[in-house]
Structure 1
Amino acid sequence: MGLFLLWFLFGIGILIQAVYLLLIFGRTAWSKTPTSSSSASESAEGVTVLISAHNEYHNLKRLIPKLFEQEYPKYDVMIVNDRSTDRTKRLLEEMMAEYPRLRSVTVKYTPNHVTSKKFALTLGIKVAKYDVILLTDADCMPSSPQWIEKMTAPIREEGKTFALGFSGYESQKGMLNRWIQFETLLTGLLYLSFGLWKAPFMGVGRNLSYRKSFFMEMKAFKGIWHLEGGDDDLFVNAYATGKNTGLVIDPEAATVSLPKETWKEYLVQKKRHLHAGKYLRGEDKQKIGLYSFSHALFWIGGLGLLIYLGVFKQWEQFLVVFSIITMRLILVWSIFRSASKRIQGKVKVSQTLINDLFYLAYFWVLGTVSYQAKDIKWK
């Protein structure tokens, strides 16, 4: 009975994983998606790049000059100085004198019933000059001078309301960074792939665009004001559809963020991200949950079979299970490698086996803790 159960779990895991890897993730990794190749004209619609910053002096000093290297003809940059106590205000004053298209607004306090980042973003969007809003964070960098043009093309040229892009992290040495690269790419595969299948369910605020007029029409973050996080994924989840959402899969349209350098900082960040996931629509939680559930079935069943068959020296069946596990790992490596090249222009994918196994603990342990957490904060 125990052996039958292990084979049953392993088989179900294989079937569901095959659907995700080949049909869903394969859409992002291998299919060709149209990219905008023409340059925007001088009459192109204006874009406001919006950043909410709390004590981000060093990151803003690095980011702002890069933003004004963009080749898009008509844009400005709005920095929301959210209760900063460092030198952010003085830096913005100095840089506004140097860059005429840089503007800022200051948040001095946050109302009790509203979370800080949503209040800051809402204020920035309200005073934004242009209707097309392009969001990123202070610790992000555009991957190319064509970032604004390519990320906003679905909205400006195709009449979409949302444009979802990818935001990766700088490559550094160490196990933590390798895990961050893996987990970020997996998250990107999930939301970009379902978006390509006309079933978008989230985006990331480090690289997200939508219309100011739509945001105001929907009364900003109505219904989620009290939640820490969710200004990106939950807002997209509430309103994005297959018809009003465009996917931007192009290395030149990506952004690159500074990764956390300690496990403690990383776990605090991911706890906030995973906590917001509990408020996704039920069918969208199933998209993530079914992948993670089948992933767990595959490894629990597979490792259980290897141990059982090894102990009882049933080597033919042992070899079958080992071969299936190996083939899946090769498939995961191939998909991640191809997707990484298409999404962010780099192909380095390492430690697939270790990271794939570590995902079990990450999702089921940290996910459970985050789901029940009540002490989530932005800054």
Structure 2
Amino acid sequence: MLLPVFCLFIAVVVIQFVYYIIIFGKFSFAKPQTLTPKRVPISVIVCAKNEEENVKKFVPLLAEQDYHTFEIVLIDDASSDNTLEIFEAFEKQYPNIKLVKVENNEAFWGNKKFALTLGIKAAKYEYLLFTDADCYPTSKDWITSMSAQFTPQKNIVLGYGAYDKIANSFLNKIIRFETLLTATQYFSWAKIGKPYMGIGRNMAYKREEFFKVRGFMDHMKLRSGDDDLFINQAATSENTTICYLPDSFTYSEPKKSFKEWFTQKRRHVSTAKHYKMFDRNQLGLFYLSQLLFLVLPIILLLFQFQWIAVVSIIGFRYLFAWLTLGFAAGKLKEKDVMYWFPIIEIILIFTQLNVFITNTFSKPVHWK
């Protein structure tokens, strides 16, 4: 009776090997990127709703970027706090800031995609670089690093949006590990030629790519997905590349409670179900293989079935997974989370399962 379980366990580890070494290895073991600056005019687009404290701190960091030709398009999405007033002050202070004011629209109330569409149309330049109002660039060369990846063929650039490190916070390590794993996945699939998502905290594309797919129209009714659903629809092997230069990273403040983080994960998972079928299937297969890798060896070890082989296979799997993610962590400056890899992975797997179950019975809340 246990032989089929053992065979399934071996098959699961083979699937994991394919993901970690063959697929994720495309990014993890890739050579470091080199910087060849381009003289491409850039419009940096930031959409904010009730973000007065964040925009006070972070807009000046964007305005002080060391780049030859750029503007900053600040979009106030009908904020009820002082965000608009702060934006108006910045518009007077910096000559390259353009302000877009979004009034409440009954058809698109509270929809970030509507606000972003207005900002994209108002942008002066064809090349657009996006970040969120609660994010800041890691250096003054953020625009230089991201724009350097554009070529006549590559009109979409996927970047890395990291989270601040919080000392003595295990939740922070979990959040940053998940961010590392997610980036390893979407960077790797993009390198293979199957880009499936990007993050609004750090991505860029040429405006023509936006209008080729009619912007957000195909998923305008969904409150989320201005970043990953757009990339899932618009990105191809021909038009998409990645950027993982250290100066290209953006950072934002992570959630500080498990409840807030869990709510955030619910939004992300609810959006992913609208991906293309291939992308949903490959993500589902990866998660299922992770879950079965935890469950099956427990069954086998409880009955002491081929326990030496089972323990050896477990060790082999952790070796290649740790190796692959370790190299990715080095590229993305997240090495410290790898010390907790086995524990964090178990927590993430069961948290993901909890998210799936919770989302089945209730819908998460999106945008502010």
Amino acid at match of 1:118: K
Partner Cα separation in structure 1 for residue 162 and residue 8 of structure 2:
34
The answer for the alignment partner of 2:158 in structure 1 is 164
1:349-379 deviations in whole A, cap 9, x for unaligned? Answer: 2311111112221222213433564343211
Amino acid at match of 2:36: S
Q: 1:113-132 to 2 correspondence within 5 Å? A: 113=108, 116-132=111-127
Amino acid at match of 1:262: S
User: Is the CA contact (8 Å cut-off) linking 1:151 and 1:209 kept in structure 2?
Assistant: yes
Residues 158 and 371 (structure 1 numbering): CA distance in 2 closer, same or farther, change over 3 Å? Answer: farther
1:336 to 2:336 alignment: no
Residues 265 and 132 (structure 1 numbering): CA distance in 2 closer, same or farther, change over 3 Å? Answer: same
Residues 144 and 113 (structure 1 numbering): CA distance in 2 closer, same or farther, change over 3 Å? Answer: closer
Q: 1:209-224 to 2 correspondence within 5 Å? A: 209-224=204-219
The SS at the match of 2:76 is strand
**Out of 180, 186, 199, which is 2:181 matched to?**
186
CA offset at residue 161 of structure 1? 2.1
Partner Cα separation in structure 2 for residue 332 and residue 192 of structure 1:
16
1:216-247 deviations in whole A, cap 9, x for unaligned? Answer: 34321121000021111111111211001111
Q: Which runs of 5+ in 2 are unaligned?
A: none
**Out of 248, 273, 278, which is 1:278 matched to?**
273
The answer for the alignment partner of 1:9 in structure 2 is 8
Which TM-score applies when normalising by structure 2? Answer: 0.94
Residues 33 and 114 (structure 1 numbering): CA distance in 2 closer, same or farther, change over 3 Å? Answer: farther
The answer for the alignment partner of 1:21 in structure 2 is 20
User: Is the CA contact (8 Å cut-off) linking 2:78 and 2:103 kept in structure 1?
Assistant: yes
Residues 328 and 217 (structure 1 numbering): CA distance in 2 closer, same or farther, change over 3 Å? Answer: closer
1:51 to 2:46 alignment: yes
Amino acid at match of 1:324: I
Paired residue total: 366
User: Is the CA contact (8 Å cut-off) linking 1:115 and 1:227 kept in structure 2?
Assistant: no
The answer for the alignment partner of 1:32 in structure 2 is 31
Q: CA RMSD in A?
A: 1.7
The SS at the match of 1:223 is helix
Residues 218 and 114 (structure 1 numbering): CA distance in 2 closer, same or farther, change over 3 Å? Answer: farther
Partner Cα separation in structure 1 for residue 259 and residue 41 of structure 2:
40
User: Is the CA contact (8 Å cut-off) linking 1:78 and 1:102 kept in structure 2?
Assistant: yes
The SS at the match of 1:188 is helix
CA offset at residue 53 of structure 1? 0.3
Partner Cα separation in structure 2 for residue 299 and residue 93 of structure 1:
54
Partner Cα separation in structure 1 for residue 328 and residue 278 of structure 2:
25
The answer for the alignment partner of 1:177 in structure 2 is 172
Residues 67 and 154 (structure 1 numbering): CA distance in 2 closer, same or farther, change over 3 Å? Answer: same
Q: 1:282-361 to 2 correspondence within 5 Å? A: 282-309=277-304, 317-342=306-331, 344-348=332-336, 349-361=338-350
Residues 175 and 346 (structure 1 numbering): CA distance in 2 closer, same or farther, change over 3 Å? Answer: closer
The SS at the match of 2:328 is helix
The answer for the alignment partner of 2:359 in structure 1 is 370
1:201 to 2:196 alignment: yes
1:14-54 deviations in whole A, cap 9, x for unaligned? Answer: 1100001111111111121543x2344xxx22101101101
**Out of 77, 87, 94, which is 2:89 matched to?**
94
Query: Percent identity over the alignment?
Result: 34
